[in-house]
Amino acid sequence: MKLSLTKVVNGCRLGKIKNLGKTGDRTIDVPGCLLYTKTGSAPHLTPHTLHNIHRVPAMAQLTLSSLAEHHEVLAEYKEGVGKFIGMPESLLYCSLHDPVSPCPAGYVTNKALQRSTIIGVIEGGDVMEERLRSARETAKRPVGGFLLDGFQGDPMTLETRLHLLSSVTAELPEDKPRLICSVSRPDEVLECIERGVDLFESFFPYQVTERGCALTFSFDYQPNPEETLLQQNGTQEEIKYVHQTKKIKTTGCNQEMTSFEINLKEKKYQGDFEPLVRGCSCYCCQNHTRAYIHHLLVTNELLAGVLLMMHNFEHYFGFFHSIREALKNDRLAQLKELIRRQAS
Amino acid sequence: MAAAASPSSMESAPRIMRLVAECSRSRARAGELRLPHGPVATPVFMPVGTQATMKGITAEQLDALGCRICLGNTYHLGLRPGPELIQKAHGLHGFMNWPHNLLTDSGGFQMVSLVSLSEVTEEGVRFRSPYDGEETLLSPERSVEIQNALGSDIIMQLDDVVSSTVTGPRVEEAMFRSIRWLDRCIAAHRRPDQQNLFAIIQGGLDAHLRTTCLEAWLAKWCHVRTRDPRQQTPGRREAEQMTKRDVPGFAIGGLSGGESKNQFWRMVALSTARLPRDKPRYLMGVGYATDLVVCVALGCDMFDCVFPTRTARFGSALVPTGNLQLKKKQYEKDFRPIDPECACPTCQTHSRAFLHALLHSDNTAALHHLTVHNIAYQLQLMSAVRASIVEKRFPDFVRQFMGTMYGDPTLCPTWATEALASVGITLA
């Protein structure tokens, strides 16, 4: 595994992680994200529906917490977890925790995996001294990369955490990739990229799906002026409405809805025959309407989760593609401003 | 209606079925339905997508499995999202983006399944909505009106459905009322050129009542043929009205409830013996593999059932020997696919062991894998049945099927053995 950077702009790194996989010929683009899975499968999706999605990351994230109970089965299977879960061609990253249902702090234990690249974990809570110590010590070890852990939290302490993050990444060698866990929101992703982070988990689109919502935020930092006006008018209306809505409780994801999404359960979508996002190339937007998704949600049909997951993943992966394009074209500031305007 | 000059044009309902082959022993037939959204090979199993969705699988996945006709339900869709919205969405096809054929049930079955919420009169069925307590009347006219808005390729008459375990005068009442309701459905049908209205033969488990129903039906139809079309008398208009009652297909209803299999098959056989040969016979609510094979032998062409898709969501995979309850511990380390002979995407990629693990998680993908497989199983079974009829080896196919399912053809359930024997197929 080798990180090859093509550009570094104001601390943002653009490049590729190369020489991955069994035959060493696979690459991952950075900044990038990992495909979020539950028990080795993208949520709601079979390989057929997963393959409908464009720009699926080359690397999938498995969570040890979901696989640990099957480790005897895997041992007897002998052909590797990739084949077992039906993703024999995918690169795999195994994290300790599921970012959607993480273990409380203090209960972390380490587990070694053979024939894999080990990622060193940077800990230290919110104590600068401990963070620096963790970074420096881990950097001395022959690890393939670094996982920045414990940087998630509430918006109140965001600035502190971002400051901490900058200090940590400053201690890390530039030629090894930096992953961060539990940070997945578009605005926070950009903040972290500016502080030297390369890879992210993609659980945010899953959380959006679970609350019956669809990602609609724009990442088109070079739109045509007419389209901007149309989009802006739509976005403004939606942002206004969001400020009035209350917290939405959903099973397993007691998260507040963000201004990056719309809630398809709302009555106003009952007769809306537009796609979730005009111009989106995902299977859901190419084939279905907001009215149909609304109906599926109201009737508690399983297909709602499938279609929303397909859209939300595609939208999210498209966002990461736009980050890389923006970096390549020196337009990250425009993208950041666009996202900032849409953040609540 | 234009003046009829020749007898053939008196049979005004479109001929939607073309027979391709018939078994020389049994009553099994292979055919092709010509429907507005494309041809459908018969015998056919139609998966049930009650609320404009085949549960967790996409229209594309269903198409890829080879499904060319599936069901929607008028009662459910009439409540949510309602016919007006679906009409705005260009019909049910447009709303769910399904390019192939749709058949909608009239809402009649819910009279039985939701009996505590319904009340039947000559006018129609009065339902109390389980969602908002509001009362709605589902009359023959309203049912057809909704189905016209849905735009399905085959629509069903509203029939007076009684549970097959009910006996006594209620059964007779329901049978005669169903005929009167058929007339009302035909009269109310605004789109006979785009949507095929099927009649439903009722009569419960009473041979006499069923026969009466069939004959009352056929009498109306046959009446047409004995009339001289060149007669310039008021009788001509009556003949034309009679002609309008002709339907493109028939369903056998009121079975697949709690009745014994012994009574069940006899009612099916009685019906197919009397129904016109050149029109499709749709046996409603039948979907267990053995039942499908036997009822094809008895002369049925179309089937629907929630069983395969419902049982999938409980972790049960259908196989030629029965089913696999994949949540059970015995599958934990079983690295074989559900069925090595199955061509479905689930069996091509996943093992029983993985599905077992996934079924014990909260990832709904597990259910979708099994739904895909179970639909594939049903469709592959029907394909195999059809091929055996076309290749003139259906009786052998039946013996082989029963052997695989029960270990030995002679271990087949008695009712099935008798039913098959009644149409000339012996299993020993």
Q: For B213-225, how does the pLDDT look when each residue is reduced to its tens digit (9 = 90+)?
A: 888 777 765 544 4
Residue B213 Cα, gap to closest chain A Cα (Å): 37
Contact A16, A29 (CB under 8 A): yes
Count of Cβ atoms closer than 10 Å to residue B406 Cβ: 17
Q: What count of CB pairs under 8 Å joins A to B? A: 119
- DSSP assignment letter at A117: P
Mean pLDDT of B50-67: 96
Banded pLDDT at B237 (limits 50, 70, 90):
very low
Tokens of B257: 């409830």
Banded pLDDT at B256 (limits 50, 70, 90):
confident
Q: Which of B359, B364, B372, B375 to mutate to test the interface with A (most CBs of A within 10 A)?
A: B364
| Residue B105 is among the residues annotated as catalytic for this protein | yes
Annotated active-site residue in B160, B291, B301, B304? B304
Nearest residue in chain A measured CA to CA from B356: A70
Residue B384 is predicted with a pLDDT of 98
Q: Which residues pair with B173 in a beta bridge?
A: none
Contact A181, A149 (CB under 8 A): yes
Strands B44-46 and B302-304: parallel
Banded pLDDT at B333 (limits 50, 70, 90):
very high
Under DSSP, is residue B120 helix (H, G, I), strand (E, B) or coil? strand
**Is A192 among the annotated ligand-binding positions?**
no
Which chain A residues contact residue B354 at CB under 8 A? 40, 84-86
Residue B305 Cα, gap to closest chain A Cα (Å): 18
Residue A264 Cα, gap to closest chain B Cα (Å): 14
Contact A20, A26 (CB under 8 A): yes
Residue B232 is predicted with a pLDDT of 41
Alpha carbon distance B309, B311 (integer Å):
6
| Single-letter residue type at B146 | I
Nearest residue in chain A measured CA to CA from B49: A301
Binding residues of B for substrate: 105-109, 159, 202, 254
- Which of A48, A292, A305 is nearest residue B95 as measured by Cβ atoms? A292
Residue A22 is predicted with a pLDDT of 85
Tell me which residues of chain A, numbers 262 to 281, contact chain B at a CB-CB cutoff of 8 Å. Answer: 270-271, 273
Instruction: Give tens-digit pLDDT for B85-126.
Output: 999 999 999 999 999 999 999 988 876 677 677 889 999 998
Tokens of A164: 């901490």
Contact B96, B58 (CB under 8 A): no
User: Is the pLDDT confidence value at A254 over 80?
Assistant: no
Instruction: Give tens-digit pLDDT for A7-23.
Output: 999 999 999 999 998 88
Count of Cβ atoms closer than 10 Å to residue A142 Cβ: 6
Alpha carbon distance B253, B199 (integer Å):
9
Query: Is there a contact between A44 and B357 if contact means CB atoms under 8 Å apart?
Result: no
User: Is the pLDDT confidence value at A107 over 80?
Assistant: no
Whether A120 and chain B come into contact, CB under 8 Å, resolves to: no
Residue B198 Cα, gap to closest chain A Cα (Å): 28
Which chain B residues contact residue A273 at CB under 8 A? 88-89
pTM for the whole thing?
0.91
**Is A163 among the annotated ligand-binding positions?**
no
CA distances to B20, B385, B392, B419 from B396, rounded to whole Å, are 19, 11, 9, 16
Residue A318 Cα, gap to closest chain B Cα (Å): 22
Mean pLDDT of A118-141: 88
Residue B84 is predicted with a pLDDT of 97
Residue A81 is predicted with a pLDDT of 92
Nearest residue in chain B measured CA to CA from A285: B97
Query: Is there a contact between B354 and A303 if contact means CB atoms under 8 Å apart?
Result: no
Q: What string of DSSP letters covers B139-177?
A: -HHHHHHHHHHHT-SEEE-------TT--SHHHHHHHHH
Query: Is there a contact between A306 and B52 if contact means CB atoms under 8 Å apart?
Result: no
Count of Cβ atoms closer than 10 Å to residue A43 Cβ: 24
- Which of A45, A273, A301 is nearest residue B89 as measured by Cβ atoms? A273
ipTM: 0.91
More confident residue, A102 or B229: A102
Whether A311 and chain B come into contact, CB under 8 Å, resolves to: no
Annotated active-site residue in B105, B153, B291, B339? B105
Q: What angle do CA B337, B342, B345 make, to 5 degrees?
A: 75
Q: Which of B63, B75, B329, B368 to mutate to test the interface with A (most CBs of A within 10 A)?
A: B368
Whether A283 and chain B come into contact, CB under 8 Å, resolves to: yes
Query: Is there a contact between A287 and B57 if contact means CB atoms under 8 Å apart?
Result: no
CA distances to A308, B228, B236, B237 from B4, rounded to whole Å, are 55, 10, 9, 11
Nearest residue in chain B measured CA to CA from A38: B363
Residue A236 is predicted with a pLDDT of 45
User: Is the pLDDT confidence value at A111 over 80?
Assistant: no
Query: Is there a contact between A43 and B363 if contact means CB atoms under 8 Å apart?
Result: yes
Residue B319 is predicted with a pLDDT of 98
Q: Which of B336, B338, B363, B375 to mutate to test the interface with A (most CBs of A within 10 A)?
A: B363
**Is A280 among the annotated ligand-binding positions?**
yes
Which chain A residues contact residue B62 at CB under 8 A? none
- Which of B53, B59, B364 is nearest residue A44 as measured by Cβ atoms? B364
CA distances to A239, A242, A275, A339 from A235, rounded to whole Å, are 6, 10, 15, 12
Chain centre to alpha carbon of residue B82: 23
Alpha carbon distance B371, B387 (integer Å):
24
Closest residue by Cα to residue B419 from B305, B302, B270, B204? B270
Which chain A residues contact residue B52 at CB under 8 A? 292, 295
Banded pLDDT at A103 (limits 50, 70, 90):
low
Residue A156 is predicted with a pLDDT of 65
Whether A40 and chain B come into contact, CB under 8 Å, resolves to: yes
Phi-psi region of B6 (alpha: psi -120 to 50; beta: other; left: phi over 0): beta
Nearest residue in chain B measured CA to CA from A46: B365
Tokens of B101: 């054929």
Which chain A residues contact residue B88 at CB under 8 A? 271, 273
Query: Is there a contact between B357 and A73 if contact means CB atoms under 8 Å apart?
Result: yes
CA distances to A45, A334, B142, B279, B325 from A190, rounded to whole Å, are 27, 12, 56, 65, 47
Q: Which of these ranges, A82-96, A283-297, B106-120, has the smallest mean pLDDT?
A: B106-120
Query: Is there a contact between A291 and B89 if contact means CB atoms under 8 Å apart?
Result: yes
Which chain A residues contact residue B57 at CB under 8 A? 303, 306
| Residue B183 is among the residues annotated as catalytic for this protein | no
Chain centre to alpha carbon of residue B98: 18
Which chain B residues contact residue A46 at CB under 8 A? 61, 345-346, 365, 368-369, 372
Mean pLDDT of A89-110: 75
User: Is the pLDDT confidence value at B182 over 80?
Assistant: yes
Residue A273 Cα, gap to closest chain B Cα (Å): 7
Tell me the range of A92-101, A121-130, A280-289, B3-12 where mean pLDDT is highest: A280-289
Under DSSP, is residue B40 helix (H, G, I), strand (E, B) or coil? strand
Phi-psi region of B392 (alpha: psi -120 to 50; beta: other; left: phi over 0): left
- DSSP assignment letter at A38: B
Banded pLDDT at A251 (limits 50, 70, 90):
very low
Which chain B residues contact residue A41 at CB under 8 A? 358, 363, 365-366
- Which of B64, B332, B369 is nearest residue A73 as measured by Cβ atoms? B332
Tokens of B224: 């047409």
Instruction: Give tens-digit pLDDT for B345-390.
Output: 999 999 999 999 999 999 999 999 999 999 999 999 999 999 999 9
- DSSP assignment letter at B328: S
Nearest residue in chain B measured CA to CA from A52: B60
Banded pLDDT at B184 (limits 50, 70, 90):
very high
Which chain B residues contact residue A87 at CB under 8 A? none
User: Is the pLDDT confidence value at B227 over 70?
Assistant: no
| Residue positions counted in chain A | 344
Binding residues of B for Zn(2+): 342, 344, 347, 373
